[in-house]
Amino acid sequence: MKEINVIDMIIKQLPFAILIINQDGDVSSYNKKAEELYSHEHRYDFRILEKINVEELINQEYAKALVQKLNWMIQYNKSKVNVVLDTVNYSRVYKTSIIHLRQENAEVNNDEMFLVSIHKDHFFDELEAVIKELDDIRYALEESSIVAITDAFGAITYVNDKFCEISQYEREELIGKDHNIVNSSHHSKQFFRTLWQTIRKGKVWRGEIKNKTKQGNYYWVDTTIVPFVGADGKVTQFVSIRNDITDRKIAEEKIRYIAYHDDLTQLPNRRYLLKYLDKKIKRRLESKKPFFVFLMDLDRFKILNDSFGHRAGDRLLIKISERLLKLSNEIDILARYGGDEFVILAEIESKEQAMEFAQKCLREIRKPVVVNGQPYYITASLGISQFPADGLEEEELIKRAEMSMYFMKENSNNDAQFYNEHIKGSMDRKISIEKNLRQALETEGLYLVYQPKVNSKTKQVYGVEALTRWHSKELGFVSPGEFIPVAEETGLVYQLDSWVLENACKQAKEWQKKGYPPITIAVNISVAHFEKNELVQVVNNILEKYELDPAYLEIEITENLSLNEIKYVHNILLDLKNLGVQISIDDFGTGYSSFGYLRKFQIDHLKIDQSFVQRFNISEDEIILQAIIQLAKNLGINVIAEGVEEKEQLYFLKKHGCYNIQGYLFSKPEKAESIEKEIFNKNSNLYLKINEICV
Ligand code: C2E
Ligand code: MG
Ligand code: MG
């Protein structure tokens, strides 16, 4: 019974007695006030009231009159009427207003229903207003909401048009069925168990439900289920009012998708991966069934990105993700973990299979990617950790795969590495270096030593190279070979280089102030620093601060750069040149540089790497060395050999025209106080040695 049931729940709240009866006078519903009125007047038991005929409430004569009135109303199509009817208790006269509740769905419900209001006064107008209000509410509810009524067992007894519309079922297909008909299987059994527990207790349940249409599409409804409790305290029926929130849910799902996926490759992101991994681990804590974590990091991706543009970089990442996805059905999940980092969790049981799989991944990555008709080549380094052997927590497993990847990168790119105890040890050491170096940069422990650069022809010291030394309270002496790479990886190198620049320039100026003849001071600047666009500014500020003529500052940058790095270093070098600073290419012979760029960069000095000097008697190296010296000369670049330890090396270099020498042969790097006694005093041990050796 459509309207009645919907109105029913509202009528129950009204502040005067209302009965809903049919044309025979059978009471089908009443509100609290009616219950009070009759149980007070007649001591009727609340539970009985529902099953009675109106004859039992008011005197028979008038009950008959009422029923006649109702039939009269039907016959003459009257919708409302006021009558005076006595209650069974003759002592009080109650006036009655009747409203015919029109049934829209007459074939389903043959009963004509009437709303009878009994009150001390007629209040037809008020009642009408209330009915209108109820009808408005009903209308609003019906129009705006998806309404369904079920019996106590959950069988659908009523659905409104909106319900049919959204579920795409005909009314007849729904009546008599339960809500399983629209079940989407999205929610757990527990979800519905809680729902039923709540409404069976007579409590209102609210929540969001994902349902399925007849055609198999999904929709979301914000649902309120109101249980109606009968006179005996038992739930008689449930009215559910739903609102379509599919659009909102889609938007929410989209937002969730964005939060958990990478925009570029559409792969799950780091957040998703960690959650997923956490769940996976929890499920396996008991069985300990193994799986592997593969973490790949593209080698020198940043350089590719910077040199060829982000479009090429993006294209490459997309292509690689597509290839990896197709790789094998052992892949449980492939996530983009960071800029150029991918993580795969794979259902693999043995280390042998894991290594095979890793190699497959690396092969896929190595295949060229064509962007705008041009092939791009990239390699990756891959670290592997294993559940449960390498960790029982998600962060731990990822971290260890990452450590193994870094270990691989340091040793050689483009291969795969399992996590092991050795890696753990070296990583712990790095972490401790980072921590202590950070402190040292803020407090103390770092100092500079200076190594003379000698012109063996003029027998003069013409400059010094500043080299950093670190004595850590906790770690003891740590060599630059160990802490510089850590500083580069962690970004501490910016601070470190600035610290060196500042202290070296300060020292150079102090020597000048002491009246010593000015000499060039060389400072090593890490390539990583060139990625930050502040180097020129930093150098300029320091030179101004100490009022040092830029001509006395030399910047050494390692030649061990890739061709791509060279490109972005180029502009900064030119800016430094414009400041008036000298530029030196360090470790020359170890990189990929061409003489073409040496000219373009307007390099002042070229430092032949120690390895060449030390292998001078190997004929192949001798030829290369000769070529380097010759070409530098042709380009007008000053050549210096570093790491010269023996006289033979010096003679050999001199023979080929390299007169500038730096090395233990003359002096080890020393602290400022010691070195100044040597380099500014022509009678020093250093000068004695120079004069003795350089005949
Ligand atoms: P480098 O710039 O090529 O410095 C030359 C290295 O060779 C220094 O090692 C120096 O002590 C060493 N050396 C000099 N003469 C000889 C010799 O005759 N025989 C041998 N075997 N070695 C000699 P050091 O001080 O350990 O520095 C190693 C590297 O660390 C440097 O190579 C440089 O690349 C880097 N480094 C040192 N200090 C700094 C710094 O303040 N900033 C940056 N960014 N890098 C630095
Ligand atoms: Mg150097
Ligand atoms: Mg060097």
**Residue minimizing CA distance to atom 46 of ligand 1:** 524
Residue 67 clears pLDDT 80, i.e. is over it: yes
Rounded (5°) CA angle 250-254-255: 120
Which of 3-12, 57-66, 400-409 is predicted with the least confidence, judged by mean pLDDT? 3-12
Task: Find residue 376's DSSP bridge partners.
Answer: 369
Average pLDDT over residues 578-585: 93
| Cα–Cα distance, 509 to 465 (Å, whole number) | 15
Name the residue among 537, 587, 539, 593 with its Cα closest to residue 570.
593
Segment 492-514, tens digit of pLDDT: 999 999 999 999 999 999 999 99
Residue 121 clears pLDDT 80, i.e. is over it: no
pLDDT, residue 155, reads 93
Q: Read off the tokens for 582.
A: 């000298």
What's the 288 CA to ligand 3 centre distance in angstroms?
Answer: 51
Instruction: Tell me whether the omega of the peptide bond preceding residue 388 falls within 30 degrees of 0, making it cis.
Output: yes
pLDDT, residue 310, reads 85
- Tell how far CA 439 is from the center of its chain: 31
Q: How confident is the model at residue 595 (pLDDT cuts 50, 70, 90)?
A: low
Beta-sheet strand order (sheet of 205-212): 156-159, 146-151, 235-244, 218-229, 205-212
Ligand nearest to the CA of 589: 3
Segment 376-413, tens digit of pLDDT: 889 999 999 999 999 999 999 999 999 999 889 887 77
- Collapsing DSSP to helix, strand or coil, 306 comes out as helix
pLDDT, residue 1, reads 36
Name the residue among 48, 28, 49, 7 with its Cα closest to residue 111.
28
Name the residue among 268, 267, 264, 288 with its Cα closest to residue 276.
268
pLDDT, residue 588, reads 84
Average pLDDT over residues 287-303: 91
Residue 5 clears pLDDT 80, i.e. is over it: no
Segment 223-248, tens digit of pLDDT: 999 888 765 677 888 989 999 999 99
Average pLDDT over residues 4-24: 69
pLDDT, residue 106, reads 45
Ligand nearest to the CA of 525: 1
Burial class (CB in 10 A: 0-12, 13-18, 19+), 304: buried
Segment 198-218, tens digit of pLDDT: 999 888 999 999 999 999 999
Segment 471-480, tens digit of pLDDT: 999 999 999 9
Name the residue among 568, 567, 632 with its Cα closest to residue 599.
632
The residue to mutate among 470, 483, 492, 524, having the most atoms of ligand 1 within 8 angstroms of its beta carbon, is 524
Report which DSSP code applies to 602: T
Task: Tell me the pLDDT of the chain averaged across its residues.
Answer: 86
What's the 614 CA to ligand 1 centre distance in angstroms?
Answer: 15
Report which DSSP code applies to 297: E
pLDDT, residue 20, reads 82
Q: How confident is the model at residue 666 (pLDDT cuts 50, 70, 90)?
A: very high
Average pLDDT over residues 129-154: 78
Residue that wins the pLDDT comparison between 466 and 92: 466
What's the 637 CA to ligand 1 centre distance in angstroms?
Answer: 22
What's the 451 CA to ligand 1 centre distance in angstroms?
Answer: 9
Segment 261-291, tens digit of pLDDT: 999 999 999 999 999 999 999 999 999 999 9
Residue 458 clears pLDDT 60, i.e. is over it: yes
**What is the number of other CB atoms lying within 10 angstroms of the CB of residue 455?**
17
Q: Which residue has the tokens 């921590």?
A: 435
Give the binding-site residues of ligand 1, using a 6 Å CB cut-off. Answer: 451, 467-468, 479-481, 484, 497, 500, 524-526, 556, 558, 586-587, 610, 642-645, 663-664, 669
**Residue minimizing CA distance to atom 8 of ligand 1:** 467
| Cα–Cα distance, 112 to 16 (Å, whole number) | 22
What global pTM score does this model have?
A: 0.59
What's the 400 CA to ligand 3 centre distance in angstroms?
Answer: 33
Q: How confident is the model at residue 533 (pLDDT cuts 50, 70, 90)?
A: confident
| Cα–Cα distance, 137 to 6 (Å, whole number) | 9
Q: How confident is the model at residue 12 (pLDDT cuts 50, 70, 90)?
A: low
Burial class (CB in 10 A: 0-12, 13-18, 19+), 506: middle
Question: Between the CA atoms of 648, 651, 657 and 662, what dihedral angle is there, to the nearest 10 degrees?
Answer: 70
Residue that wins the pLDDT comparison between 355 and 29: 355
Q: How confident is the model at residue 371 (pLDDT cuts 50, 70, 90)?
A: confident
Average pLDDT over residues 539-562: 90
Residue 108 clears pLDDT 50, i.e. is over it: no
Segment 623-641, tens digit of pLDDT: 888 888 888 888 889 999 9
Residue that wins the pLDDT comparison between 444 and 82: 444
The residue to mutate among 467, 483, 525, 616, having the most atoms of ligand 1 within 8 angstroms of its beta carbon, is 467
